Amino acid sequence: MNVTPQLEPAEARILAVLVEKQATVPDSYPLSLNALVTGCNQKTARDPVMEISEAEALAALDNLRSHTLVLESSGSRVTRYAHNIAKVYQISTPVVAIVTTLVLRGPQTIAELRANCERLYRFADASSLEAFLTELSERSAGALTVLLPRAPGAREARWAHLLCGMPDIPVATASARVEASSGLAAEVAALREEVAQLRAEVAEFRALIE
């Protein structure tokens, strides 16, 4: 497809859970609604932790089906759901693993992301993962990742997914930028004052010797 559909957080979480459970509990995949909601609301390996009701999940599934991101099967007594993310977004298995892990666990450094992707795809090294992330951030059909500004005190910047649009920059980061800008302005002003004072002293000295 030419344009990446922008999803709601619940829709992105459902899609990511389907990918995750296909890899980790293949015998239960495709998932029933109950299993899907449980996976969305689990407390571990989730950031943020969510509380999605069955009604909210069904509404999200309807929208995902409209983009053919989710496929429904009803061959048994229970309706089951499967993802179609690779085909719709036209992305490879490593990319599916990256996006899924970012949706499930929030923004991460390259080292964190590589470790958390292990169950879905094993990257040879950090540089190969970084190459995928960079490629995804420049994707012509619509960027799927973005490198966030480095947070104050953090050693590395974190990457985030863009399935739900541009994430909010933490207030602390924005405040740090303002403080840094204010500090630089004050430093420039002090230097200008010092230069003006030096020029005045030079002019005074020249007047004395002339």
Tens-of-pLDDT digits for all 210 residues of the chain? 446 689 999 999 999 999 999 999 999 999 999 999 999 999 999 999 999 999 999 999 999 999 999 999 976 789 999 999 999 999 999 999 999 999 999 999 999 999 999 999 999 999 999 999 999 999 999 999 999 999 888 899 999 999 999 998 765 555 555 555 666 777 777 778 887 787 877 777 777 776
What pLDDT, on a 0 to 100 scale, did the predictor assign at position 2?
Answer: 43
CATH of domain 9-161: 1.10.10.10
Residue closest to 99 by CA, chosen among 88, 111, 113: 113
> What Cα–Cα distance (Å) separates residue 183 from each residue in 104, 152, 178?
37, 15, 9
What pLDDT, on a 0 to 100 scale, did the predictor assign at position 184?
Answer: 72
What pLDDT, on a 0 to 100 scale, did the predictor assign at position 151?
Answer: 85
pTM: 0.79
Task: Sort residue 4 into left (φ over 0), alpha (ψ -120 to 50) or beta.
Answer: beta
What pLDDT, on a 0 to 100 scale, did the predictor assign at position 180?
Answer: 54
Q: Which tokens sit at 150?
A: 């480095």
